[in-house]
Structure 1
Amino acid sequence: MNDTASPVEIESAIRTIQTDLPVNATFHVWLKAKKDDEPGSVSFSNHNGKFGEVSSTNLDEYNFRIYQVFGGGRVELSYDTVTTAVSVMYWFIASDVLETGITVVHTKPDNAAPDLPESYHFRPPFGWMNDPNGFGRFEGRPHLFYQHYSHGLRWNTMHWGHAVSSDYLRWRHLPIFLFPSEDLTTRPDKRGGAYSGSTIPLVEGTGIRVFFTEQVQDRVPEQQIQLTATSSDLIMAGQAEVILGNRPDGQGLTTDFRDPYVVRGPDGLWKMLLGSQSDGGGVILLYETQDPTAASGWTYVGKLWVETRYKTTAIECPCLLPLDGPANARSTRWVLTYGLMHSEDAATGRKNLTMADVGWFDGKTFVKEFGQELDFGTDNYAFQAFLDGDTIVGIGWLANWADATPEIDFPTAMTLPRRMHFSHGALLTPPIGAAESLRHRILDRTRLAAGERVEFSTGAVELLFELTKPGLPFELELDHPSAKLGVVCDDTGLWIRHEDGRGSPSPRYISEGARPFRLRIFLDYGSIEVFADHGRYVGTKRIESFEPVRAAHLKSIDGAVAHATIWALKQ
């Protein structure tokens, strides 16, 4: 990821930030006024004096401004802290930003990214993040878009953040890609914005087409409608147009109507999945279009799926992909993933589950063969995947709305990217192969297997161990300063022990009946991800705070552990 610039700040009423620029740098600045009788402003100066300025009269929310600096060299950005508040400033060179990313020169203390040098999970360069959007490979590179609010660590008016990678693990931050309407950005009142969606390559020419939900909380009759926009440069989206302005009639739907996922169907037509809710439960709606560009002509096909389990309200973030063959083959299985909003498993206390159903899709209907939870830890939410060649690659929000609320600061990350494939009657979701490139150095090859305590030098660690027989009991104790943490296999199954000491009983994060033999466990600052039996059982759990896990101790019966290795990880 890009390093934040180290500006020189002169502490006085006038704050000055110095940065060295190449020629033709574009600045993105968010600022607001502090006084109703005087605009807030940021000035640009060099050795010849002041040459430019951006300003805002808005007292409620930070306004977005663009400024082009044609000459290079040392530039000073100055503003009066009495009259002006500045949230974010970054610059980039449009001609090579996909190669070099943005350079952040200013954030506030309350929207700054955490300083975690060894951390390997994706985090935004500033501000709030939730659902991954538009995940895909475009013009040869993986791109990740995400729900984003720049000016704090709490959910608010939604934009799309953006990053690009070559391996899904090491990301370059790019300019904010998609903005909500100007009316929604005038005040931080949580009325809506550019909600989740998906992206496809442009059928004609280079670039991408984006599909997203626009939410306006007080709009009548539709709070949520579907829009599309294009981008030829992969840097910023163009003007958005409405493609679905109303829910389908006569379906008994609530106002929930969101998260368009667009994929090519087995009949060659573009299909769109949308999440909603009806009297019968959570609903996935199916649309299609004859338009080869997917720009228009979307018509309602029917309810692809209705979910009644776990007291689900709306379904969120549906995703559908061919799993074990080409999309146009009748024998090909498809995998349907979706989030169950407000769901609760009464037996375990886990909330907001995510399901993965495998079956057959003929372009109109989905016939389920079997289903399983995508993640027994539940903190792999809003999972979105795409077909990269012949391999499905997906990523999720490493959090859950059971813990996050708009009233608390909640810095989060994305999960490790995962593959999805079908093997011996099961859906496997192991980490991508490139995850092995994170292994920086070996910490242990003998002590963990021998039952000894192993200390960690950093909070970024991978543990790999195999049992001599599937399902042998063990308990991996993980020493964390504020949570009782571990991974356990017993006669009930495989589960993550997570007790945060808040008094209320912790949910039981369990894959019931699992009898694993091979465990691969990733620890990072603020998370644990468990992959058992090559991704047959997967559990992801966010850990409060960025305190590292300090040590591990593996307890088991004599002869149960065949071998174990621990690596320190580094991006």
Structure 2
Amino acid sequence: MPSNQTASTEAVRILHADLPVNSTLHIWMKAISPNAPGVISMHSSNGQFAQLMATNHEEYEFRIYHVFGGGHIELHYNTETTAISVAYWFTPSDVLETGITVIHTNPGNAPPNLQDGYHFRPPFGWMNDPNGFGRFGGRPHLFYQHYSHGLQWNNMHWGHAVSSDYLRWRHLPIFLFPSEALRARPDKRGGAFSGSAIPLPNGPGIRVFFTEQEKDRTPEEQIQMTAVSPDLFSAGHAEVILEQRPENQGLTLDFRDPYVFRGPDGLWKMLLGSQSEEGGVILLYETQDMTAAGGWTYIGKIWVEKRYATTAIECPCLLPLDGPANDPATRWGLLYGLMNSTDAKTGRHNLSMVDVGWFDGKTFVKEFEQELDFGTDNYAFQAFIDGDHGVGIGWLANWADTGYAVDFPTAMTLPRRLLLSDGVLLTPPIGAAESLRSHILDRTRLSAGQVVTFVNGAIEIIFELTEPGAPVVLELDHPHVHLAVEVNENGLLIRHEEEGKASPEYIAAGARPSRIRVFLDYGSIEVFADHGRWTGTKRIAGFEPVRSAQLKAAPGLVSHATVWALRP
């Protein structure tokens, strides 16, 4: 990223960029005060060729400029009258292969500098739920809830990235924007909330579905929208497809997070999360329209969750697990988040669940259930079928730890497979996660009970027990948190304890694992036991790395252990 350079006066700043032919600039700018506009002048070797202006002094205004000739350009602005939040450029003809090039981020929304970090993070700003996760045009695409201009939640956009292996991502232009009414002020009133994406029936494009939120709008704060992207990186005009909740269902104003998928009868289905007097509910819609552009009809409540005091079910997701969608014997997985729920036994909040059963296109019959993640920091998980199995990803965080006024740089979880095996759902990391391994740090000392020191904060540890459920503690040395992975008579635990602060019990009760795989990164720990039979994810505040590990177990209970250094 080219650095800022100061001109003859300290108030004038210059941004530099070397652009290919036919480049596009995206810039967010605002006026410092209502008394004078914000101004950016654009210069080439031939002198000034353009000027951009903004009059809003409350929120950044979005500007686009096409530079057809390319070459070296300079962006001049006076910091006493003008502020720039983000500026990047790209070439539309090959942006899916090359991504965007960021030339400026405000220090208040800049990402952490984590050279060896391997979890997905946005190039600037706030991020939460994954959206529109799928393979389009032959590549995995990830959209996500995003606010560009700070590290706190605010009026929602959709960020966007593309990959070839789910691990190494190229950042793409901002995909969805809040409505004009919500772009005027950073007032946290709504925006383009969570949703999903499907391929267009003819061609490489996609259709996205999302909830538009506008606080205090009547009669509905939340409505469902759709937009089309023929080029896979820019969205066309969004249109309303559901302008109100289903009537006479006793629902709250919560009506969000459309997940669209092909049902066993070949029709497009849509799930939406809400809340009623009975508890959290998942609503089912369908359409006869093969393009899914309209004609959505309410079918009914496919699921009601009465056990937890949730304020709404969020981010529902339904996909076939062990066979084709049109086979009546195929089991389906219904995944969802329980917003503001509390598990009284452990003190954990905002649980994520998965129910496995049969779906005939109209009704879902549960066979069994399990928690998606005992650590609970795998929220808003979204999955789709890629080839012959499901792949999903979640927000590596939990609303119990953050809020609208908290700086909260965060990440996505490692992508995970969804595999049905012997009556349980396994969610191991995708196989490509092994490609993160840089070199082996240890194969003997950890299993012998010695301390193994790490070279950086990106680490993978695998150890196996000679007896399922044998008591063992993997102590992890973190400068601010007591952190450990433990197996005892109660199950498998992540111990995350901050001094002077009560901690929930992050436990997979009754688990008796034999093989435990631990991924450490700057700000997170992910535990996969017995190939993902039990999975736990915990965010760690800040970006201080875990410095070392030690296995504590009785002699003979650890058969072997391996430690890898990782890098993206």
TM-score by length of 1: 0.99
Which residues of 2 match residues 343-354 of structure 1 at below 5 A?
343-354=341-352
Question: Alpha-carbon deviation of 1:237?
Answer: 0.6
3-state secondary structure, aligned to 1:415: coil
From 466, 469, 479, give the equivalent of 1:468.
466
Is the counterpart of residue 402 in structure 1 residue 405 in structure 2? Answer: no
- Per the TM alignment, residue 17 of structure 1 is displaced from its structure 2 partner at its CA by 1.3
Q: Which runs of 5+ in 1 are unaligned?
A: none
Q: How far apart, CA to CA, are the structure 2 residues paired with 1:363 and 1:504?
A: 47
Q: Show CA shifts across 1:484-536 (max 9, x none).
A: 001000000000000122x2310000000000000000000000000000000
Q: Counterpart of 2:108 in 1: which secondary structure? A: coil
Tell me the distance in 1 between the aligned counterparts of 2:197 and 2:247: 26
1:375 aligns with 2:373: yes
* Bigger Cα displacement from structure 2, 203-212 vs 412-421: 203-212
Q: Which residue is 1:362 aligned to?
A: 360
Amino acid at match of 1:445: R
Paired residue type of 2:94:
D
8 Å CA contact retained: 2:119, 2:412: yes
1:70 Cα deviation from its structure 2 partner: 1.4
> Aligned to 2:302, which of 292, 301, 304?
304
Aligned residues: 567
Q: 1:461 to 1:38 in 2, by over 3 A?
A: same
- When structure 1 is superposed on structure 2, of 384-393 and 165-174 the one drifting more is 384-393
CA distance in 2, matches of 1:36, 1:300: 48
Hey, what's the Cα distance between the residues in 2 that align with 1:336 and 1:37? 54
Q: Does 1:163 align with 2:161?
A: yes
Tell me whether 1:550 sits opposite 2:540 in the alignment: no
CA distance in 2, matches of 1:182, 1:79: 25
Q: Is the 8 A contact 1:7 1:19 kept in 2?
A: no
Distance 1:62 1:52 in 2: 19
SS at 1:440 equivalent = strand
Distance 1:121 1:44 in 2: 36
Distance in 2 between the 1:9 and 1:120 partners? 34
CA deviation after TM superposition for structure 1 residue 168, in Å? 0.1
Which residue, 324, 328, 339 being the options, matches 2:337? 339
Residue number in structure 1 paired with 2:226 = 228
Instruction: Give the AA of the match of 2:192.
Output: A
How far did 1:12 drift? 1.2
Shift of residue 78, structure 1, vs aligned partner: 0.9
1:43-94 per-residue CA deviation (whole Å, 9 max, x = no partner) reads 1101111101111000110000001111222111110001001100000001
Residue equivalent to 1:44: 42
Amino acid at match of 1:224: Q
Counterparts of 1:83-98 in structure 2, within 5 Å, are 83-98=81-96
Cα distance in 2 for residues equivalent to 1:570 and 1:9: 35
Q: What CA distance in whole angstroms lies between the structure 2 residues aligned with 1:508 and 1:13?
A: 52
The CA deviation at 1:236 is 1.1
Query: Which residue in the other structure is 1:182 paired with?
Result: 180
Q: Shift in Å at residue 9 of structure 1?
A: 4.6
Alignment-mate amino acid for residue 114 of structure 2: L
- The answer to whether the Cα contact below 8 Å between 1:261 and 1:274 also exists between their aligned partners in 2 is yes
> Match of 1:124, as an amino acid?
P
Residue number in structure 2 paired with 1:129: 127
Cα shift readout 1:326-382 (whole Å, capped 9, x = no counterpart): 000010000000000110001100000000110000000000000000000000000
Counterpart in the other structure of 1:533:
530
**Runs of 4+ deviating beyond 3 Å:** 4-11
Alignment equivalent of 2:192, drawn from 188, 194, 204:
194
3-state SS of 2:236 partner: coil
The answer to whether the Cα contact below 8 Å between 2:523 and 2:541 also exists between their aligned partners in 1 is yes
Give ranges in structure 2 of 5+ residues lacking alignment. none
SS at match of 1:110: helix
Give SS of 2:50's match: strand
Q: Specify the alignment match of 1:279 in structure 2.
A: 277
Q: Contact 1:5–1:103 at 8 Å: present in 2 too?
A: no
Distance between the aligned counterparts of 2:55 and 2:311, measured in 1? 41
State which of 371, 384, 387 in structure 1 corresponds to 2:385: 387
**2:513 — aligned with what?**
516
- Structure-1 separation of matches of 2:49 and 2:501: 59
Conservation of the 8 A alpha-carbon contact between 2:158 and 2:176? yes
1:422-450 superposed Cα distances (whole Å, 9 cap, x missing partner): 00111000000000000001000000000
Residue from 11, 20, 23 that aligns with 1:22: 20
Match of 2:567 among 563, 566, 570: 570
Number of the residue aligned with 2:421: 423
Match of 2:141 in 1: 143
Indicate which of 489, 508, 517 corresponds to 1:491.
Answer: 489
Q: Could you tell me whether the CA contact under 8 Å between 2:260 and 2:268 is conserved in 1?
A: yes
Residue of structure 2 in register with 1:559 after alignment: 556
Matched-pair contact (CA < 8 Å) for 2:204–2:232: no
Q: Find out whether 1:82 has 2:98 as its counterpart.
A: no
- What is the alpha-carbon root mean square deviation over aligned residues? 0.8
Tell me which amino acid in the other structure corresponds to 1:535: G
**Take 1:515 and 1:492, find their aligned partners in 2: how far apart are those partners?**
9
Q: Secondary structure at the match of 1:311?
A: coil
Name the aligned partner's letter for residue 515 of structure 1: R
Identity across the alignment (%): 71
Q: Is the 8 A contact 2:310 2:339 kept in 1?
A: yes
Deviates more, 1:34-43 or 1:76-85: 34-43
Look up the SS of the partner of 2:308 in the other structure.
Answer: helix
State the distance in 2 between where 1:421 and 1:447 align. Answer: 33
The alpha-carbon deviation at position 7 of structure 1 amounts to 4.6
Aligned pair partner of 1:107 in 105, 108, 117 = 105
Which one is further off, 315-324 or 177-186?
Answer: 177-186
Q: Distance in 1 between matches of 2:270 and 2:33?
A: 47
Who is 2:441 aligned against? Answer: 443
Distance apart, 1:391 and its partner CA: 1.4
Alignment partners' CA distance in 1, 2:17 and 2:382: 37
Q: Secondary structure at the match of 1:412?
A: coil
Helix, strand or coil at the partner of 2:400: coil
Q: Is the 8 A contact 2:2 2:15 kept in 1?
A: no
CA distance in 1 between counterparts of 2:208 and 2:146 reads 16
Q: Please, which moves more after superposition, 176-185 or 519-528?
A: 176-185
TM-score normalised by L of structure 2: 0.99
